[in-house]
Chains A and B, each alone.
Chain A
């Protein structure tokens, strides 16, 4: 992107700082989206400052930037939307988590999605715990009644772990199902 050159050093600093803020706000986007967004903002600043009579560079620039708005505020919906697009295209969990964080303010459905992802992470931790503490991790029953699924420190009398070695494959299956459902739900939300 070609940088706009101002004759007044103070105006140059204001412009450079604004561009830095824009760059910071869009850092989560793909390289192409970052370049496109930055070029568009830069083009707007250039056109707006050039359309005004060349009296006071600083005043004109400040007015332009004020009308554009704070990058942190105005670019948030764009970043959230583009990140959601990237996440649905890639199925990449990192992108999906970032998109959820950015879109969480957009509705309760994203809170549910975040909860499901947290559950998937917990399942992952359970697998590790099963390897370290096999008798304390699993599906616990007492007198044919379901007591718990997970990790327990206390193994009171009559409490038996019923899944044994099957626990890890079952948890992996559950994680896979959760991940698939979550991504599907995410795509449906994106279509709305």
Chain B
């Protein structure tokens, strides 16, 4: 019967957007753990390393939230063009947060892998 074998694409899409929403901050922290990035550069890094289609504008509210939580630090750096860049780095608390998130992610991954076997 068709309705049994056909996947519920709406459900999958909703689930994927929830996963995306939940993992974006984790992805940002992993990227910022390497070096400091400015907003546009960070968007490009996300695009290079993941297949996530992220609305670029949504990144800034998230970065602001991470900053307010003390997870990232930011500073304006003047440029020759006269248009400064805002660089983001992982704070001390951000590094500890990332370590904790990595533990959780690994545990989740192991559990899911076990279930899928």
Contact = CB atoms under 8 A, between A and B. Distances in A.
A78 B82 contact: no
A81 B64 contact: yes
Contacts of B82: 2
A78 B65 CA distance: 8
Interface size class of B (residues with CB under 8 A): 20 to 34
A82 interface: yes
Contacts of B39: 40, 43-44, 47
B109 interface: no
B76 interface: yes
Which 8 A-B residue pairings sit nearest by Cβ, starting from the closest?
A74-B57, A78-B61, A69-B57, A47-B40, A77-B61, A68-B57, A2-B82, A46-B83
Interface of B: 38-41, 43-44, 55-58, 60-61, 64-65, 68, 76, 81-86
A43 B64 contact: no
Interface size class of A (residues with CB under 8 A): 20 to 34
A172 interface: no
Contact of B58 (A42, A44, A48, A69): A69
Contacts of B55: 67-69, 74
Decide if the interface of chain A is mainly helix, strand, loop or mixed: helix
A67 B56 contact: yes
A75 B57 contact: yes
Interface of A: 2, 4, 37, 39-44, 46-48, 50-51, 67-71, 73-75, 77-78, 81-82, 85
B85 A43 contact: yes
A190 B44 CA distance: 31
Contacts of A69: 55-58
Nearest to B53: A67
Contacts of A75: 57, 60-61
A47 B41 contact: yes
B68 A81 contact: yes
B64 A82 contact: yes
Contacts of B85: 43, 47
B84 A39 contact: yes
B83 A74 contact: no
Contacts of A44: 39-40, 43, 56, 60
Contact of A43 (B40, B57, B61, B65): B40
B56 A47 contact: no
Contact of B76 (A39, A46, A85): A39
Nearest to B39: A44
A46 B56 CA distance: 14
Given A43-B39, A68-B56, A81 B65 contact: yes
